[in-house]
Amino acid sequence: MNIAKFSRRSFICCLTVAAALFSLGAQAEERFITVASTTSTEQSGLFSHLLPVFEKLTGIKVHVIALGTGQALDLGRRGDADVLFVHDKAAEEKFIAEGYGVKRQEVMYNDFILVGPKSDPARAAGKDILEGLRRVEATKTAFVSRGDKSGTHAAELRYWKAAGVDIEAKKGTWYRDTGSGMGPALNTAASMNAYILADRGTWLSFRNRGELGITVEGDRQLFNQYGVILVNPAKYPHVKQADGQKFIDWLVSTDGQKTIAEYKIGGEQLFFPNAAR
């Protein structure tokens, strides 16, 4: 056996193991929280704007799991997140009532819009979301749904119902369930030249618009409120209560609200802070 060669290999192996252990140790020491959030807060670019400010201020890293609101709430029910940042008030209040969350605090709002082909084949344009959807269904014009139990999907289903359209019964080849986040669903709509309900924040940051434009906006029913919730540490003792609460407190603070308001694309504000203080 070549002892020198063996020793070199052993030395390199030891260095590799040491480096791996050092890396694991560094990760173990990293101070972080896990936030389960709607895809719109990530895909709009808001988190890329917000989180570096919070991390610099506190030294706490924020690991984001971007899901539809329904899936984010399910993650919280399993105790797999410290904080939820979502936008389906009824579902959030149910989550609190079931004992999975400590308290719901409102953070910011924007609005939903109906996006569709600029040629508007369904003649849905205007400021009435219910009438717009009725016309899309009546003409069986292509419509893309997120279909992912997100806050946006929940809002879409509420609007169909309020419009008097039983969408489960009326679905056909014109209605496409994607089961995807806002960005991918918008990509599908662009490729199909179809109508879609979107949040304005993601739409403003979306670049692959094709022939799509805003069809319906300005209806008061399109108001879109975001809330933040600490997952209940009494139910899940591993929840990082202190650091999770620190993130929530910062979001609703004067500094956090100012940081949210400062996020703009092309000079247009995407989210409007409205925390009660």
Q: Domain ends where: 222, 246, 261?
A: 222
Q: Are residues 169 and 215 in the same domain?
A: yes
Q: Are residues 142 and 267 in the same domain?
A: no
Q: What are residue 106's DSSP bridge partners?
A: 227
Task: Report pLDDT for 277.
Answer: 63
Task: Report pLDDT for 21.
Answer: 43
Q: Could you write out the DSSP letters of every residue in 213-239?
A: EEEE---GGGEEEEEEEEE-TTT-TTS
CATH code of the domain containing 159: 3.40.190.10
Tell me which residue range forms the domain holding 257.
30-109+225-273
Q: Is residue 16 part of a domain?
A: no
φ, ψ (nearest 5 deg) of residue 218: 90, -5
Q: Is residue 4 part of a domain?
A: no
Q: Are residues 126 and 160 in the same domain?
A: yes
- In a structure prediction context, what are the per-residue pLDDT tens digits for the chain, which is 277 residues long? 454 444 554 444 444 444 444 444 444 568 999 999 998 899 899 999 999 999 999 999 999 999 989 999 999 999 999 999 999 999 999 999 999 999 999 999 999 999 999 999 999 999 999 999 999 999 999 999 999 989 999 999 999 999 999 999 999 999 999 999 899 999 999 999 999 999 999 999 899 999 999 999 999 999 999 999 999 999 999 999 999 999 999 999 999 999 999 999 999 999 999 998 6
Instruction: Work out how many domains the chain is built from and give that number.
Output: 2
Q: Are residues 216 and 240 in the same domain?
A: no
Q: Are residues 231 and 97 in the same domain?
A: yes
Instruction: Give Rg (Cα) of the chain.
Output: 23
Asked if 144 contacts 188 with a C-beta cutoff of 8 angstroms, the reply is: yes
Count of other CB atoms within 10 angstroms of residue 153 = 23
CA distances from 192 to 59, 83, 209, 210 (A): 44, 36, 11, 10
Q: Domain ends where: 222, 245, 260?
A: 222
Task: Report pLDDT for 23.
Answer: 43
H or E element in which residue 108 lies: strand 101-117
Q: Is residue 22 part of a domain?
A: no
How many helices (H) and strands (E) the chain has is answered by 12, 12
Q: What's the CA dihedral at 194, 200, 204, 207 to 10 degrees? A: -30
How far apart CA 45 and CA 85 sit, in angstroms, is: 14
Is beta strand 101-117 parallel, antiparallel or unpaired with respect to 195-199? antiparallel
Separation of CA 164 from chain center:
28
Q: Is residue 12 part of a domain?
A: no
Q: Are residues 49 and 77 in the same domain?
A: yes
Q: Are residues 53 and 150 in the same domain?
A: no
Q: Are residues 92 and 35 in the same domain?
A: yes
How far apart CA 200 and CA 221 sit, in angstroms, is: 14
Query: Where do we find the tokens 């030395």?
Result: 11
Minimal CA–CA distance to 114: which of 186, 14, 53, 21? 186
Q: Are residues 215 and 231 in the same domain?
A: no
Q: Are residues 161 and 246 in the same domain?
A: no
Angle of helix 241-252 relative to helix 46-58, nearest 10 degrees?
120
Q: Is residue 159 part of a domain?
A: yes
Q: Could you write out the DSSP letters of every residue in 20-79?
A: HHHHHHHHHH--EEEEEEEHHHHHTSHHHHHHHHHHHHH--EEEEEEE-HHHHHHHHHTT
Task: Report pLDDT for 30.
Answer: 81
Q: Are residues 150 and 162 in the same domain?
A: yes
Asked if 242 contacts 80 with a C-beta cutoff of 8 angstroms, the reply is: no
Is beta strand 195-199 parallel, antiparallel or unpaired with respect to 143-145? parallel
Q: What are residue 216's DSSP bridge partners?
A: 114, 126
Q: Is residue 136 part of a domain?
A: yes
Q: Is residue 53 part of a domain?
A: yes
Q: Are residues 133 and 199 in the same domain?
A: yes
Q: Is residue 210 part of a domain?
A: yes
